[in-house]
């Protein structure tokens, strides 16, 4: 694996000398060993005066561009347009050279994109909740049995380019449908729990442990809510008009990412029915936790032109965030009565337990994909996304062995990691 990475790095470095530096008005440097063009023919920011480009670039680094890029834009006349310094006309169309670099000039000012998502998460943590009554080794159910499947979602971006297309401000938002899962367990010998509810009661002579042991049924349920909002300053949006098939668009931005998780364990007392007796036959332990990440990120979208209309891209982002974690831990009967520590326990506190804390989290995102541009204004794209987060508070980690340990519950565990991944596919329009 290390040899492969080293080989790719060497190939990339060898390719760099052939790539022109990206300037404010486009690709600003071209080898010109034959002296057929003035030194500023390609370095002047847009707009530039009308000029004639030779049919082929001279040797010395642009051999692959034969017969060369042909610029058909005429900036010599026309009405003034916002964002440009001098009168200009829209390009006649998209012309391409033999290699296939698009000649859409000037760059579009606004762009929009919409895409569909299908994403999921890594497997949740495991906390054992259920075993066969009077047979402890026969563990029957744990919280990771509620493992959500993939769900669909939407993503939208709007952006505006400036500095003649050399920079852009991009606002993006995406979300997916709630990830939900559930599981239940019964047994002919009834079910019990390894979790300890000692010294918790709903009243005199009504201990909580009796509801969870020798029970008719145990149920667990999980729900994850996810949304993402970010704004980025992106470098290098002007089209590639040089010989180089590679391009890197660096970015700097701010992201807000939210991941909420609800996890519950419910038990039905022996001989009871769900919803029966006014809910007094059932008890639910519930944990709700929110992760609110806000921070800065750096990124780079590395692109490889593949013919006149297609581009392969890989876009990593890395950020450091303040994660505001808030949780609510509750234990109550179906009729709304909350559990309480017994007087003999000496424990101070009641349910629900509410707490919060701020921690440092890291988030890395990588998008790998392919885009196809049939004309100057429209493009289609698709790919795969992976996101990895550290410093997260997840619901499974907040459940202690001794449920009466209220101080431990209030002390949020935040050492978890989370991975989200899935596909995206969409359409973009620029004007």
pLDDT at position 108: 62
Q: What is the pLDDT of residues 304-332, one digit of tens each?
A: 988 888 999 999 999 999 999 999 999 99
The average pLDDT across 30-53 equals 39
Give the confidence band of 339 by pLDDT, cuts at 50, 70, 90: very high
Cβ neighbours of 75 (radius 10 Å): 19
Give the confidence band of 94 by pLDDT, cuts at 50, 70, 90: very low
pLDDT at position 166: 84
Q: What is the pLDDT of residues 112-164, one digit of tens each?
A: 999 999 999 999 999 999 999 999 999 999 999 999 999 999 999 999 998 88
Give the confidence band of 378 by pLDDT, cuts at 50, 70, 90: very high
Give the confidence band of 172 by pLDDT, cuts at 50, 70, 90: very high
Q: What is the pLDDT of residues 99-120, one digit of tens each?
A: 344 444 455 689 999 999 999 9
The average pLDDT across 31-43 equals 39
For residues 25 and 238, give the distance between their C-alpha atoms in angstroms, rounded to a whole number. 7
pLDDT at position 15: 41
pLDDT at position 268: 97
pLDDT at position 179: 98
For residues 329 and 216, give the distance between their C-alpha atoms in angstroms, rounded to a whole number. 24
Which one has a higher pLDDT value, 291 or 28?
291
pLDDT at position 251: 96
Contact 108, 430 (CB under 8 A): yes
pLDDT at position 66: 31
pLDDT at position 77: 35
Q: Is the pLDDT of residue 50 over 60?
A: no
Q: Which residue segments constitute the domains of the chain, with CATH numbers given? A: 1-106 (no CATH), 110-430 (2.40.128)
Contact 48, 85 (CB under 8 A): no
Q: Is the pLDDT of residue 243 over 70?
A: no
Q: Which tokens sit at 299?
A: 């990124």
Q: Is the pLDDT of residue 45 over 90?
A: no
Task: Give the rounded percent of residues in the chain with a pLDDT score beyond 90.
Answer: 65
For residues 24 and 168, give the distance between their C-alpha atoms in angstroms, rounded to a whole number. 12
pLDDT at position 372: 95
- 340 contacts: CB under 8 Å, gap ≥ 6: 200, 201, 202, 350, 351
Give the confidence band of 62 by pLDDT, cuts at 50, 70, 90: very low
Helix (H, G, I), strand (E, B) or coil at 111: strand
Instruction: Identify the CA nearest to 395 among candidates 179, 117, 173.
Output: 179
The average pLDDT across 79-85 equals 37
pLDDT at position 245: 84
pLDDT at position 357: 97
Q: Is the pLDDT of residue 273 over 70?
A: yes
Phi/psi of residue 276, nearest 5 degrees: -80, 165
The average pLDDT across 239-261 equals 83
Q: Is the pLDDT of residue 185 over 90?
A: yes
Give the containing element (helix H, strand E) for 211: helix 209-212
Q: Which residues of 297-330 are buried (b: 16+ CB within 10 A; e: fewer)?
A: bebbbebebeeebebebebebebebebbbbbbbb
pLDDT at position 203: 83
Bin 24: left if φ > 0, else alpha if -120 < ψ < 50, else beta. Answer: alpha
pLDDT at position 375: 87
pLDDT at position 431: 81
- The average confidence (pLDDT) of the chain is 80
Tell me the torsion sign for CA atoms 55, 60, 61, 64.
Answer: positive
Would you say the pTM of this structure is higher than 0.85?
Answer: no
Looking up tokens 């390009």 gives: 91
Q: Is the pLDDT of residue 84 over 80?
A: no
The average pLDDT across 374-387 equals 94
């Amino acid at each position: 694996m290390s040899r492969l990475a080293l080989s790719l790095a060497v190939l990339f470095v060898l390719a760099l000398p052939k790539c022109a530096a990206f300037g404010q008005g486009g690709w600003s440097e071209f080898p010109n060993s034959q002296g057929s063009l003035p030194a500023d023919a390609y370095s002047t920011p847009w707009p530039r005066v009308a000029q004639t480009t030779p049919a082929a670039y001279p040797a010395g680094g642009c051999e692959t561009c034969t017969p060369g890029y042909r610029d058909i834009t005429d900036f010599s006349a026309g009405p003034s347009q916002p964002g440009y310094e001098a009168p200009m006309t829209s390009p006649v169309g998209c012309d391409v050279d033999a290699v296939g670099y698009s000649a859409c000039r000037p760059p579009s000012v606004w762009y929009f994109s919409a895409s569909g998502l299908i994403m999921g998460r890594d497997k949740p943590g495991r906390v054992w909740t259920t075993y066969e009554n009077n047979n402890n080794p026969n563990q029957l159910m744990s919280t990771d049995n509620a493992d959500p499947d993939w769900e669909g979602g939407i993503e939208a971006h709007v952006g505006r380019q400036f500095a003649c297309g050399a920079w852009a401000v991009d606002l993006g938002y995406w979300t997916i449908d709630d990830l939900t899962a559930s599981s239940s367990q019964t047994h002919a010998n009834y079910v019990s729990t390894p979790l300890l509810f000692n010294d918790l009661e709903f009243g005199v002579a009504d201990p909580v442990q009796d509801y969870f042991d020798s029970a008719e049924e145990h149920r667990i349920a999980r729900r994850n809510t996810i949304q993402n909002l970010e704004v980025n300053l992106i470098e290098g949006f002007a089209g590639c008009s040089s010989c180089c098939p590679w391009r890197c668009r660096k970015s700097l931005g701010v992201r807000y990412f939210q991941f909420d998780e609800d996890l519950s364990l419910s038990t039905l007392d022996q001989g009871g029915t769900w919803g029966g007796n006014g809910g007094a036959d059932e008890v639910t332990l519930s944990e709700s936790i929110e992760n609110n990440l806000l921070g800065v990120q750096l990124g780079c979208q590395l692109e490889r032109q593949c013919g006149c209309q297609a581009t392969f891209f890989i876009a990593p982002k890395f950020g450091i965030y303040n994660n505001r974690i808030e949780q609510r831990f509750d234990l109550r009967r179906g009729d709304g009565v909350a559990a309480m520590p017994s007087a003999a326990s000496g424990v101070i506190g009641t349910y629900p337990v509410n707490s919060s804390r701020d921690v440092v989290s890291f988030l890395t995102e990588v998008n790998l994909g392919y885009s196809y541009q049939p004309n100057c204004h429209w493009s289609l794209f698709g790919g795969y996304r992976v996101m990895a987060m550290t410093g997260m508070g997840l619901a499974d980690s907040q459940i202690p062995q001794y449920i009466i340990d209220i101080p431990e519950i209030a002390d949020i565990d935040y050492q978890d990691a989370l991975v989200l991944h899935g596909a995206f596919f969409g359409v973009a329009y620029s004007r």
